[in-house]
Structure 1
Amino acid sequence: MLEQLLKPLLAPLFKQWPVLEDYGWQVAAATVVVLVWLLTIVFNWVMGRLIHHLSQKAPAWDDLLLKSIRTPLRILIWVTGVSLLLEIFSRNGLPVSTEVGGDLRRLGVIILLAWGVIRFIKAGEKYLTTPVAGRKQVDRTTADAVAKLLRLVVFILAGLTVLQSSGVSISGILAFGGIGGIAVGFAAKDLLANFFGGLMIYMDRPFRVGDWVRSPDKEIEGTVEYIGWRLTRIRTFDQRPLYVPNATFTSISVENPSRMRNRRIFEHVGVRYDDADKVRAIIDDVREMIRNHPEIDTRQTIIVQLNRFGPSSLDFMVYTFTKTIQWVKYHEIKQDVMLKIADIIFSHGAEFAFPTQTIHLAAGEPELPEPVSQRPTETGQQA
């Protein structure tokens, strides 16, 4: 077939230079190389113009598709050229099987097509999770889960197609998979547990990449960096990576402080018993200050009340919520509130209490008797 295609192209050349007819297959091989080279140049020029034209518009799926398949198609041109060269070599006495060229072409098409689809899935995932004004951003964890599932499907389909094109019976593999699935399940129960644990994370979404999570059951706290099918990577606050198998999350409680609506300020402030007559006014002023504070959420509970009689102080409770959930800003607000409470206390002439003890001695108590000397010992000496 190849000779029939090249014969009309090479006929004028052999007519002009008859001596080249003795080197027909070498000329045919050189012609294939030149054609592949020219086709690559034309392909690059056409694809470059198309991508440049589409990039002038808003990012769209057709632009992503062309960028994803550009490299696989360019490689496919050379794979086709190499397969044609192998067919020429095999038909002219060189030690190359006549089926190598066709097998290489079939496998190349399957593998490069699967690679192009995987590149397109990855580009689509990046496009959907990149924040753009005027377009709703897809949840990164959901997009990552769907992309991984699609890549797995493409990988399995490509593998089965390669096996079938190589002469391997797919029905036998599927039957073996059904029979051996039980044994594999028992042998890889931990791997399957982690897989289904990751699936539950993707479905229930108790946290996503970028969230701050902690577990009261285990020493797990940090920012989620990556959610895989087997494990989740969490960056602790001392910047150490923590790798947690997904099966762990099916048996522990997980807190997600990133989804808090407010942060709480809960403090007890102690005033001296000597300032008991000023406590009511202090509490009223502190309550008014908190209600007028611009960073306090007045829709939430606000409690400023005398709470207990302490061992050395009159303690009143300050219970309120900030509008922000940012960790650093929350502490700045809390500091401002506490300093204003201190100013209110001092403005009333009161002071903070500190641990003290007062010992009362009753007047007129008899003095303790002097210690009685011990009896003499047998030697007549006192002990």
Structure 2
Amino acid sequence: MDYTWEPLLANFRQQLDYLLSYGHLHRLVLSIVILAAFWLLRKRFADYTVYLLAKMTSNERVDTQSYLSTACRRPAMNIMAMLGLYFAAKNYLPLGYEPLLNRILSSFIVVFLTQGLHGLIKIYGDDTAELERLLGASVDKILIPFFSKVIRFLIVALAFVVVASNWGYDVNGFIAGLGLGGLAFALAAKDMLANIFSGIVIITDKPFGIGDWIKTPDVEGTIEDINFRSTKIRTFEQALVTVPNASLINAPIVNFTKRKLRRITFNLNVSYDTPSQALQQCVSRIQTMLVDHPAIDNKMIFVKFDTFGDNSLTIFLYFFTTTIVWEEYLNIKQEVNFLIMQILEEEGVEIAIPRTRNYFSSPLEVIRSGGEKTAQPEKTEEA
């Protein structure tokens, strides 16, 4: 079959004549000027965009302007450069390319806006102090990074859907596929998701925080870290225990750090030889000493002669320190113990020492060195 090159050569001559024509050169030069103008103005446009955003938020703080500049300056410059490319190409290319250029422009504008918003949310998510100042309320330092990641993911997903729709793709099937995939993922990772939701409950409900001393049926120690999967507890043996949040949220938790006072209670055993008047004086002086002590809470102090024990008279003491710090608590307890010893010494009251009394049915005979027998009482006492 004979093949003729005449149509191809004719089309090539037509294109060459167009490229060498005055009209083509005029449009090419104008497109280059348009592109150069937008390129030169992109920095000024970015500066004005940051200034306008700062005005819209009614915030002229240096930190805020710095964050806006970091997050929005580059996307604003990219949008300006993209507009230059759009208008230059629209001026140069035939009218048939205009729908394609419009789709390209709108898609890139969505991408650059997403880039700016994504960066701004990340910056504020990493700086909780600035976010608290902006919102005028306290925020959780653990919860904010999580929600920051979730919001950024949703923004990127929404931008993808918008761009895909702009190019004529049916996103309904994609969204349905995400739903089925999410369901399958949820069934496969239900334990992980249970830990994540339990972590959210712990962070929002705040039964404990980092540094708190807690006790559960399985572990006791100080909270070192809380994340969305597990909680790390440092025991008093300095071992690090990692507890899944799902297990921790369903267990009874005692938070010792949340208490306002710390209890001291014990029994003080004194000798049966103590006169009642001396015992009463000791109880009264110990009560007065605790009431006057600056580190003892005055709302609940009990110093009572409680029981007649097997080997002693028992004084019951029950009171609270005003501090919950362990070292301070031990220092106060030690000081109170010394003051109680001083009171007992001044009143001549002895601490009871456990002893045994032995009884014999007949008198004992003791043989002295000369062979003489001496009868002893029926009862003897051995300390």
TM-score relative to the length of structure 1: 0.67
The letter of the residue matching 1:113 is L
The verdict on how the C-alpha distance between 1:21 and 1:204 changes in structure 2, with shifts beyond 3 A counting, is closer
Query: 1:178 and 1:50 mapped to 2: Cα distance?
Result: 38
Does the 8 Å CA contact 1:287/1:304 hold for their aligned counterparts?
yes
Q: How many Å apart are 1:110 and its aligned residue? A: 1.5
Q: How many Å apart are 1:235 and its aligned residue? A: 5.0
Structure-1 residue corresponding to 2:8: none
For the pair shown, which has the larger CA radius of gyration, 1 or 2?
2
Query: 1:359 and 1:146 mapped to 2: Cα distance?
Result: 74
Query: 2:56 and 2:200 mapped to 1: Cα distance?
Result: 39
Q: How does 1:232-271 map to 2 (within 5 A)?
A: 232-234=231-233, 236=235, 242-271=241-270
Q: How many Å apart are 1:112 and its aligned residue? A: 1.8
Structure-1 residue corresponding to 2:163: 165
Q: CA RMSD in A?
A: 4.4
Structure-2 residue corresponding to 1:156: 154
Q: How many Å apart are 1:204 and its aligned residue? A: 3.5
1:336 and 2:335 are equivalent in the alignment: yes
Does the 8 Å CA contact 2:219/2:235 hold for their aligned counterparts?
no
Q: How many Å apart are 1:222 and its aligned residue? A: 0.5
Q: How many Å apart are 1:105 and its aligned residue? A: 4.1
The DSSP-based 3-state class of the residue aligned with 1:253 is coil
The DSSP-based 3-state class of the residue aligned with 1:287 is helix
The DSSP-based 3-state class of the residue aligned with 1:258 is helix
Structure-2 residue corresponding to 1:11: none
Q: How many Å apart are 1:197 and its aligned residue? A: 1.1
Structure-2 residue corresponding to 1:183: 184
1:116 and 2:120 are equivalent in the alignment: yes
Does the 8 Å CA contact 1:69/1:120 hold for their aligned counterparts?
no
Does the 8 Å CA contact 2:323/2:329 hold for their aligned counterparts?
yes
Query: 1:313 and 1:216 mapped to 2: Cα distance?
Result: 37
The verdict on how the C-alpha distance between 1:268 and 1:365 changes in structure 2, with shifts beyond 3 A counting, is same
Query: 1:48 and 1:181 mapped to 2: Cα distance?
Result: 39
The verdict on how the C-alpha distance between 1:319 and 1:215 changes in structure 2, with shifts beyond 3 A counting, is same
Structure-2 residue corresponding to 1:14: none
The DSSP-based 3-state class of the residue aligned with 1:363 is coil
Structure-1 residue corresponding to 2:295: 295
36-45 or 242-251, which deviates more: 36-45
The verdict on how the C-alpha distance between 1:29 and 1:260 changes in structure 2, with shifts beyond 3 A counting, is same
The verdict on how the C-alpha distance between 1:240 and 1:158 changes in structure 2, with shifts beyond 3 A counting, is farther
Q: How does 1:66-85 map to 2 (within 5 A)?
A: 66-80=65-79, 83=82
Does the 8 Å CA contact 1:271/1:353 hold for their aligned counterparts?
yes
The letter of the residue matching 2:73 is R
Q: How many Å apart are 1:338 and its aligned residue? A: 1.4
Does the 8 Å CA contact 1:47/1:70 hold for their aligned counterparts?
no
The letter of the residue matching 2:256 is P
Q: 2:41 aligns with which of 35, 38, 63?
A: 35
Structure-1 residue corresponding to 2:214: 214
Deviations 1:311-335 (A, max 9, x none): 6543322101123333333223222
Q: How many Å apart are 1:80 and its aligned residue? A: 3.0
Query: 1:347 and 1:253 mapped to 2: Cα distance?
Result: 47
Q: How many Å apart are 1:260 and its aligned residue? A: 0.9
Query: 2:235 and 2:137 mapped to 1: Cα distance?
Result: 27
334-343 or 83-92, which deviates more: 83-92
Structure-1 residue corresponding to 2:129: 126
Query: 2:184 and 2:51 mapped to 1: Cα distance?
Result: 54
Query: 1:32 and 1:267 mapped to 2: Cα distance?
Result: 84
The DSSP-based 3-state class of the residue aligned with 2:274 is helix
The verdict on how the C-alpha distance between 1:20 and 1:165 changes in structure 2, with shifts beyond 3 A counting, is closer
1:317 and 2:321 are equivalent in the alignment: no
Q: How many Å apart are 1:113 and its aligned residue? A: 1.8
The verdict on how the C-alpha distance between 1:202 and 1:44 changes in structure 2, with shifts beyond 3 A counting, is closer
Q: How does 1:4-153 map to 2 (within 5 A)?
A: 32-37=38-43, 39=45, 54-55=60-61, 66-80=65-79, 83=82, 103-120=107-124, 123=127, 125-127=128-130, 138=138, 140-141=139-140, 144-145=142-143, 148-149=146-147, 151-153=149-151
Deviations 1:221-258 (A, max 9, x none): 203543x3323344556776554321122321111122
Structure-1 residue corresponding to 2:282: 282
Unaligned runs of 5+ in 1: 1-18, 56-62, 368-383
Structure-1 residue corresponding to 2:7: none
The letter of the residue matching 1:348 is E
Q: How many Å apart are 1:263 and its aligned residue? A: 1.1
The verdict on how the C-alpha distance between 1:128 and 1:334 changes in structure 2, with shifts beyond 3 A counting, is farther
Aligned residues: 329
The verdict on how the C-alpha distance between 1:22 and 1:112 changes in structure 2, with shifts beyond 3 A counting, is closer
20-29 or 283-292, which deviates more: 20-29
Query: 1:245 and 1:82 mapped to 2: Cα distance?
Result: 50
The verdict on how the C-alpha distance between 1:279 and 1:28 changes in structure 2, with shifts beyond 3 A counting, is same
